[in-house]
Each structure stands twice: as structure tokens, then as C-alpha cells.
Amino acid sequence: MDVTLSTTTTAMAADPVTSLYEIAYKLDSSQQFAGDEELFKTIIDLSKSNKQTKQLSSQFFSKYFKRFPSTQEKVIDSLIDLIEEDDIPVRVSALKAIPSICTDNPEYIAKLVDILGQLLNTDSPIEYESTKNSIIELYKLNSANTLNSILLSLETDNQREFMLKFIKERLMSLIRLEYKQSTMEAQSFFRERILKLIGSSKDGEIEILVELFNCFPKYMLKDAIVFCDTLLSLIHKLPVVETKKKVYFILDMLVKKSTQNNNEPVGSGIFEFYKTKIFPSLNDMLEADQTDFITKFALITQSANTNDAPELFEIVFKLLKDKIPVPAPIDYDFKLTILEALLLSFSNLGAKSPAQMRRLCAYKTNTGQPSDMATDLDPSKFDDFVARLRVLNDRIGTTDAKLKKAIEVLPKSDTEQLAQLIKSQKTTSNLIQFIRNLSKNPPILNNSAIRPSFAKEQNPMKQFKKQYQPNYQHQQVGGGQKQQKQKNQVGQKQQQQSQQGQQETQGQSKNRYQPYVPPNLRRSNDNNKQQRGGGQGQQQKSGGDEPRVQLEFFTEKSKTKQPSPSSFKGRGSKSF
């Protein structure tokens, strides 16, 4: 042992690069021998000698990292020192060694991901690409541990825009694809972490975090309500304008889950938030913000419960009176999309608060309760409300006709303009239908046949094709008759084939079934079936369709504890 160390020390003094390869040759020649750990420690010492050894030592670190557990912490520290070097090739070589080190040692992923996240602010394109590739490789090795470490770094890092940008560009698609089949436990764990990040995020970060949140879609309406109330508790003291994107996220989440649950009535803090924060601030908002808040509110009104509906109905009723003046000036600009949303809200909330409809609008009701027989209704209230609806109807009737004409004459190649016209015409058409329903007494409050123009659609041109696309089948000469003739021929051919099959069946022997076999004589068949590995037995062996992602974290000290961020503070921005 003393001879070996003496020889190595002499070689170190002569040529450190040669010493690296000589030590590597000795370590490769035998998997275990006396003094092998001391030789590897020599490699760690040689990594600080010169530029060449610094660049070469990273590959030896990754090669022998698993073999010497007692030196792993020292290797990680040396690797961090190499990452902080000024020479780009040295840093790139160290970055490339990280995935190899973590292949058999996932407990170091948390610490190294935290370091890599701080290196995303580099000005060197080569180092930036190497850093991104290393994070992706770590994600492919252990997605749960890597994603957990990324979220931990986002929770503690003040300059997290670099990591969010990387997630958006390179990691989002991988997360969405893999965690779509993950367990409920894994989805719930990451969703709650991301929700807290959304609560503390800036406006420029929300969209990426919301997209990341939507990569974990396995949750119920009751979970969405909990998420909503949790987030509202974090933002209720802030001005509405500063939190509008977070409120939009809440509303979109509730709309999606409410629709999936047939708009089941729920108790959510979002309705109280509208009553106390949003509606009182409408006049201070820009028109675009007003439109967004009111239209998104209209989409969730069908899920309001009977406790929230009466007060919300009164607020909507007052807004309608403000938006539809009587008499209306000739140049008055009706906000049609806002009015469509308010009338939808009026109908949905009115169906859940009939007493308010009788009191404010003098509507008759058919609830089956004694209050339906009330005779103290004020006809002037009904006349006033219907008069406002007529003013709106007179103004939009001409607009609707002009929009239909414009859609017919506009070139179909101008898809953007055509889609805008179709949406506007959908708004006027819905308004006309709402006015027709609400001008009756008792009113028609069932809006299931009305699709709001501001609701998200899969294909915006689908409605156009149904209403305005010409029927080319009638334009072709004899086209309808030709298609009908082809259908008749196909039907006759199928009938002939059916008759032929029946004749063949009748010609076969009537006694075509095998005789009854007692259960005690069926063992050979069962054994053959098991040997073939078919049926349910094979499915049980294979385990069926199991989720691909399991929640399993590794840390440095314990595999059950949460990882802690590294002490690496970054080296600041560099320009090369």
C-alpha cells in the first residue's frame, strides 16, 4: 500500500493528467483491493490541480461515485466547486456528470436540482443547454423526486422566473404526459404545492403555474371548492385589480368542475368574494375587466345555492337597470356581451330565489308554494322591467339582421373576421331569446338550450357550418337521387348476404354442440388454459393497468423526509 501511494504521489508531481488515468486503470483492473479508496481520494485531490484535471475529473467522479459511499459527500462538494469555475468547459463537464451520479443514487437529486435551478440564469448558451439537459435527464430518472425538488426551489428562490421559463419550454409536456396516469396521491401532493405557489405568485408567473396545475386533473368539485376557498383566503385583502388573474383561475376551475357535475349547487367563498369585492369595484375597472368578471360569474351562477342566490339576484337586477336605461339615448352604447351575461345570471339566480323575483319584478311564480298565490304584486315593476327589455330588443334587432347579412357575404377565407362576426351574432341571438323568455309572466327561466357566446367552444366555426354553410347536396343535379340509389343498392346486398347466411346455417347439422361434460372431467381444459396464460389469470399476473407514476421521494438523510435546499447560493450573472 505504501509503495502504491508513493508511486502515485510521484506521478502527481510529474503529470497530474497521467496520474488520473493510471489510478483509473488500477481501479478498473480490480473491483476491490486494499487502498482503492485512498486512490479515489487522490482523484478528488487531483481535480483541483489544473484546467485539464478539472475538466477530466468529472467523468471519474461519476464512474466511481457508487463504488465509494464514504466519499460521496466530498465528491459532491468537489463537483460544486467545478461548477463554480470560470472556465466554461470545466463547468459543462461537471454538469454532464450529474445525471450519471444520480442514476444509482437518487437521494442526491434534491440537492443537485436545487443547484441546477440556480444556474439557469447563466449568460452562456452552452452552459444553459447543459443545465437544461441535466435537469431533463434527472426528471427521466426519477420524475417525482425531481419535480418535488423543482417545486421546493420555486418556494424558496426569489428569482424563480428562470425555472418557470424552463418548465414552460422543456418540462411541461413531459409532466402533462406522465402524470396524466399518476395516482390520486401523487396528483394531490403536487396540486396542493402548486396552489400555494399560485397564491404567492406575480402576474407574470400565474399563467405558467396554472398550466402546471392543470397537468394534475384528477380532482372532484368538492376539491375545487377547497382550492378556491384556500386561494381566496390568501388574496382577499389585496385590491381586485392585482388579483384578477388568480380569480380567473378560480372561476375557470369552478366552471369546469361544475359543468362535469351537472351544475350541482355548491357553497363556495367565490360568491361572497363577488358580493364584497368585485361588484362594488366594477365602476373602477376597465371595460375589458368588467366583461371578464361578469361573464365568468354568469357561468357559475347555475351552481349557486339558495342561500347565496337571493342577494346575488338583487345585485344583478340593479346592474341590469343601470345598463339598460329608459328611455335610452340614441347614441347609447349597449354592452351586449355584458348584458348577455347579466340576463343569463338573472335567469339562473331567479330560478333559485322566486321571492326576490316577485318582490323586485312582480313576476308570477310556479313553485307549488302558497306564495305563488300572492296578490300583492306591483304591476308597475313588471312593466318597468319589460320596458327595458323592449328598449334593448329594438336596438339589437337591427344589429342581428345586419350581422347575419354580413356573415353570408363575407369571404369564407377570412376566418378571423368571420369568427368574430359569428360570435357577435350569437350574442344578439341569445339576447333576443332571453328577452322573449323574460317578457312573459311567469317567465321562462330554463336556459339549457342557450349556449352563451362567451363560453369556451371546441370548434368556433362549428355553429357557422350548421347555420350558414350551403347544402351542396341539393345544388348538384340529381345528387340526392344518386345517393339514395346507392343506399338502396347497399341495403339489397346486405339483405342477400343475410339470407345466404341463414340458408347455410339451416344446412348444417342441428346437433352441432358438444355433449355436456361434468366439472370433474374439465381439469385438462382448465390446465391447458392456465398453461396458455390467457383469460383473467394472465391479467392477474400482469397486474392490469397500473398507474405509471408512484409517489416516492429520496433525500440525503432519510427516504421519508422532505428534501432540503442546498447551501449553494449561485455565483451571480456572468457574461461571456
Count of other CB atoms within 10 angstroms of residue 166: 20
Strand partners, 304: 266
Q: Report the C-alpha gap between 466 and 6 in whole angstroms.
A: 89
Give the 3-state secondary structure of residue 495: helix
Question: Rg for the chain (alpha carbons), in Å?
Answer: 36
The pLDDT value given to residue 499:
58
The pLDDT value given to residue 556:
52
Q: Report the C-alpha gap between 513 and 568 in whole angstroms.
A: 78
Contact by Cβ (8 Å): 293, 278: yes
Give the Cα-Cα-Cα angle 201, 196, 567 (nearest 5 degrees).
80
The pLDDT value given to residue 256:
86
The pLDDT value given to residue 149:
92
* CA neighbor of 121 nearest in space, from 570, 544, 576, 450: 570
Give the 3-state secondary structure of residue 376: coil
The pLDDT value given to residue 276:
93
Report the chain's terminal Cα–Cα distance, integer Å.
Answer: 46
pLDDT, tens digit (0-9, with 9 covering 90-100), for 138-152: 999 999 999 999 999
Give the 3-state secondary structure of residue 23: helix
* DSSP per position, 223-244: HHHHHHHHHHHHHTTS-GGGGH
Count of other CB atoms within 10 angstroms of residue 233: 11
Phi, psi of 222 (to 5 degrees): -65, -35
* CA neighbor of 142 nearest in space, from 190, 91, 79, 99: 99
Burial tier of 118 (Cβ tally within 10 Å: 0-12, 13-18, 19+): buried
Q: Report the C-alpha gap between 377 and 357 in whole angstroms.
A: 10
Give the 3-state secondary structure of residue 304: strand
3-state helix, strand and coil shares in percent for the chain, rounded to the nearest 5: 70, 0, 30
* CA neighbor of 286 nearest in space, from 322, 331, 208, 338: 338
The pLDDT value given to residue 540:
46
Stretches where the chain sits below pLDDT 70 are 1-14, 158, 263, 371-375, 457-576
Count of other CB atoms within 10 angstroms of residue 470: 8
The pLDDT value given to residue 258:
81
- Amino acid at position 154, single letter: L
The pLDDT value given to residue 204:
85
* CA neighbor of 43 nearest in space, from 32, 34, 56, 30: 56
pLDDT, tens digit (0-9, with 9 covering 90-100), for 161-176: 899 999 999 999 999 9
Which stretches does DSSP call E strand in 402-536? none
Look up residue 505 and give its three cell numbers. Answer: 346455417
Contact by Cβ (8 Å): 248, 209: no
Q: Report the C-alpha gap between 286 and 516 in whole angstroms.
A: 82
